[in-house]
Structure 1
């Protein structure tokens, strides 16, 4: 469906405005589609992103600041995200033995199991995208988005 149909707007001020509106609309669509996958696990896409970051550092601990630096959603409240993940048993938080002002965050076995369970539905999500775009088109889209942020 074209963006004009999706938002019921026939004209845009210019192609840049149309592109930005389309980008925001599509970003929200992707977020909502992924959120449906995570809903049954009682997590949000931001929790999944944080778990992947923490797993990527495993077995070394990571600090909240390091997570925030690479989190896709920069507006997220990392402390609140981590509080929920700790409460659910997916991550463990403890004082750093070398710097008592810093918290060390590590992923638990339960957190690793959750990520393993999510592999199939996430793979399915990307397979669905592969029916809409070729590998080359996906790379071109990614390169164009990189240019937008330059």
Structure 2
């Protein structure tokens, strides 16, 4: 179903307004699909994002400040997310020896194992854009980057 049918509106001030609203709508659609996907794993989108960042750093630790800079949703409360991941045994944290105001976080073996279990399923999640060819996806990425320039 196209965007106009989904929101039951055909009039827009301009194509740019329509594109903006379509981006917001599509973003929400993707976020909801991701939420449903992550539920069976007992993890949220933001927790998954943090674990992926930590896996990229592994075996090194990373501060919560750097995690926040690298997150997809930079409005997330990284300290709270890390606390929840710690309670689940997927990460560990310690005070940074060089700056006691910072907390260093490292992914645990259990966190790595969770991501490994999720990896093949995540490929299916990425296929949400299955109607796009690789060329279409590259064009979309280029256009989205252009918007943020």
Report the TM-score, using the length of structure 1 for normalisation.
Answer: 0.95
Give, in whole Å, the separation in 2 of the partners of 1:112 and 1:140: 33
Q: What is the match of residue 90 of structure 2?
A: 90
* Structure 1 runs, 4 residues or longer, greater than 4 Å off: none
C-alpha separation in 1, matches of 2:128 and 2:75: 28
Aligned residues: 149
Unaligned runs of 5+ in 1: none
**1:113-138 per-position Cα deviation (integer Å, ceiling 9, x unaligned):** 110111121101223423x0000000
The alpha carbon displacement at 1:35 in A equals 1.1
Cα distance in structure 2, aligned partners of 1:144 and 1:106: 35
Cα distance in 2 for residues equivalent to 1:108 and 1:86: 9
- Tell me the residue number matched to 2:37: 37
How far residue 3 of structure 1 moved from its aligned partner, in angstroms, is 0.6
**CA distance in structure 2 between the partners assigned to 1:142 and 1:44 by the alignment:** 24
